[in-house]
C-alpha cells in the first residue's frame, strides 16, 4: 500500500466471498426457488459468477438463464419472494468461514482498528448470518445492500462508514473479493486489498485495480500493520 498518508484506523470488510463462502447457501436457495418455477437445477460455478451485486440482480441473472427479458420482468417479484423464503430457511447452514478470517479479525481488533462490514447482501440475510458464524461481535457497523440509497460499486456505503467513524477515506482500508469492492473503494478514496479466493464475477482477481492481493484476512492484518509501522 502507498505510504505517507498516515496510519490506517479502520477496515471495511465485505461478506460474501471474503469472510464466508456462501455460494453453497445460494445454490440450495436458488435451486429450490427454480424448482417452484419448473426450472432445472444449476451448478455452483454459474451462481458464483453472478454473486456480488445484490439479491435482485442475482435473481434476474438466474431467471435469465431460461427466460427472455419480458418473462424475467414478469416473474421477478414472485421469484424474489420464493428465493428470500428459501434463503432464510437455510441461511448459513451450507456456508463456511474461509481460512484466516477469525485470526485476521482478532489481529485487526488487537491493532485497535475500527471495523465495519459492508455487503450487498440484504441486511435481513447478513445480520443473522454474521451472528450464526460468530462474526457479529467484531463489527460496530453493518450495512446491507438496501441500507443506503446506493450500494457497491457506488462509494456511498464506504463513505458512510468513514463519516460514521469520523475518519478520512485515506485512513480506511476496504477488503473484498471483487471489482465491485475495489471500484467502490477507489471512488471513495479508501485503500483496497483484495482476496483471490472469492467470486469476482467469474474473473481473475489480478485484473482488478487494488492496493494489493492478500491470501487471507490474517495477511491483510499484517499488511495494514506494516503500513502503520511505516513499512518496516
Ligand atoms: O449478495 C451479494 O450480492 C454479495 O454480497 P457481498 O457484497 O457481501 O459480496
Ligand atoms: Mg463479495
Tell me: do 30 and 51 sit in the same domain: yes
4 in a domain, yes or no?
Answer: no
Based on the structure, what is the number of domains in the chain?
Answer: 2
pLDDT at 4 over 70: no
Question: What is this structure's pTM?
Answer: 0.95
Q: Which of 58, 90, 122 is the last residue of a domain?
A: 90
Q: Closest-lying ligand to the alpha carbon of 120? A: 1
Tell me: do 75 and 129 sit in the same domain: no
Pick from 21, 34, 10: nearest CA to 115 = 10
184 in a domain, yes or no?
Answer: yes
In the predicted model, what is the mean pLDDT of residues 78-106? 97
List, in sequence order, every residue forming a beta bridge with 175; answer none if it has no partner.
13, 193
Please give the distance, rounded to the nearest whole angstrom, from the Cα atom of residue 19 to the centre of ligand 2: 8
Closest atom of ligand 1 relative to the 120 alpha carbon: 7
2 in a domain, yes or no?
Answer: no
Question: Which protein residue has the closest C-alpha to ligand 1 atom 9?
Answer: 16
- CB proximity list for 162: less than 8 A, separation 6 or greater: 10, 168, 169, 171, 172, 188, 190
Which grid cell is 175? 477488503
- The response to whether residue 54 sits with its C-beta less than 6 Å from ligand 1 reads yes
Tell me: do 102 and 171 sit in the same domain: yes
Q: Which residues are annotated as a binding site for Mg(2+)?
A: 14, 16, 177
Tell me: do 71 and 114 sit in the same domain: no
pLDDT tens, position by position, 185-230: 999 999 999 999 999 988 999 999 999 999 999 999 999 999 999 8
For 193: left if phi > 0, alpha if psi spans -120 to 50, otherwise beta; the answer is beta
- The response to whether residue 198 sits with its C-beta less than 6 Å from ligand 1 reads no
Q: Closest-lying ligand to the alpha carbon of 18? A: 2
The pLDDT assigned to 232 comes to: 46
pLDDT tens, position by position, 140-149: 999 999 999 9
Label the pairing between strands 172-176 and 10-13: parallel
Tell me: do 209 and 120 sit in the same domain: yes
Which residue range(s) make up the domain with 51? 23-90
3 in a domain, yes or no?
Answer: no
Q: Which of 66, 90, 114 is the last residue of a domain?
A: 90
Residues forming the active site: 14
Tell me: do 67 and 57 sit in the same domain: yes
pLDDT tens, position by position, 154-175: 999 999 999 999 999 999 999 9
Q: Which of 90, 119, 146 is the last residue of a domain?
A: 90
pLDDT tens, position by position, 120-129: 999 999 999 9
Please give the distance, rounded to the nearest whole angstrom, from the Cα atom of residue 64 to the centre of ligand 2: 22
- The response to whether residue 12 sits with its C-beta less than 6 Å from ligand 1 reads no
Tell me: do 55 and 154 sit in the same domain: no
- The response to whether residue 75 sits with its C-beta less than 6 Å from ligand 1 reads no
Give the burial string for 47-63 (b: 16+ CB within 10 Å, else e): bbebbbbbbbebbbbbb
* 177 within 8 A of 198, measured Cβ to Cβ: yes
Tell me: do 114 and 159 sit in the same domain: yes
- The response to whether residue 151 sits with its C-beta less than 6 Å from ligand 1 reads no
Q: Which residues are annotated as a binding site?
A: 14, 16, 177
Tell me: do 115 and 214 sit in the same domain: yes
* 219 within 8 A of 102, measured Cβ to Cβ: no
Tell me: do 186 and 84 sit in the same domain: no
pLDDT at 3 over 70: no
58 in a domain, yes or no?
Answer: yes
ipTM value: 0.95
CATH number (domain holding residue 186): 3.40.50.1000
204 in a domain, yes or no?
Answer: yes
Q: How confident is the model at residue 231 (pLDDT cuts 50, 70, 90)?
A: low
- The response to whether residue 181 sits with its C-beta less than 6 Å from ligand 1 reads no
Tell me: do 76 and 159 sit in the same domain: no
Closest atom of ligand 1 relative to the 121 alpha carbon: 1
* 192 within 8 A of 76, measured Cβ to Cβ: no
Q: What is the DSSP letter of 216?
A: S
In the predicted model, what is the mean pLDDT of residues 3-32? 93
CA distance 126 to 147: 12
Q: What is the DSSP letter of 8?
A: -
Q: Closest-lying ligand to the alpha carbon of 54? A: 1
Closest atom of ligand 1 relative to the 176 alpha carbon: 9
DSSP-derived 3-state class of residue 205: helix
Tell me: do 83 and 109 sit in the same domain: no
CA distance 32 to 29: 5
Amino acid at each position: 500500500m502507498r505510504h505517507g498518508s498516515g496510519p490506517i484506523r479502520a477496515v471495511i470488510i465485505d461478506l460474501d466471498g471474503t469472510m464466508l463462502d456462501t455460494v453453497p447457501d445460494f445454490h440450495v436457495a436458488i435451486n429450490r426457488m427454480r424448482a417452484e418455477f419448473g426450472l432445472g437445477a444449476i451448478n455452483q460455478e454459474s451462481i458464483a459468477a453472478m454473486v456480488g451485486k445484490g439479491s435482485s440482480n442475482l435473481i434476474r441473472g438466474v431467471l435469465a438463464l431460461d427466460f427472455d427479458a419480458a418473462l424475467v420482468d414478469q416473474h421477478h417479484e414472485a421469484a424474489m419472494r420464493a428465493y428470500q423464503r428459501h434463503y432464510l430457511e437455510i441461511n448459513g447452514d451450507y456456508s463456511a468461514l474461509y481460512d484466516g478470517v477469525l485470526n485476521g479479525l482478532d489481529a485487526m481488533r488487537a491493532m485497535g482498528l475500527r471495523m465495519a462490514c459492508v455487503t450487498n447482501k440484504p441486511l435481513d440475510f447478513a445480520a443473522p448470518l454474521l451472528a450464526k458464524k460468530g462474526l457479529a461481535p467484531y463489527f460496530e457497523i453493518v450495512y446491507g445492500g438496501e441500507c443506503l440509497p446506493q450500494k457497491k460499486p457506488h462509494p456511498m456505503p464506504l463513505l458512510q462508514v468513514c463519516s460514521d467513524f469520523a475518519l478520512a477515506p485515506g485512513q480506511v482500508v476496504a477488503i473484498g473479493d471483487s471489482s465491485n469492492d475495489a471500484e467502490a473503494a477507489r471512488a471513495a478514496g479508501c485503500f483496497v486489498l483484495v482476496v483471490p479466493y472469492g467470486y469476482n464475477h467469474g474473473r481473475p482477481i489480478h485484473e482488478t485495480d487494488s492496493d494489493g492481493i492478500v491470501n487471507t484476512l490474517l495477511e491483510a492484518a499484517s499488511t495494514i500493520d506494516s503500513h502503520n509501522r511505516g513499512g518496516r
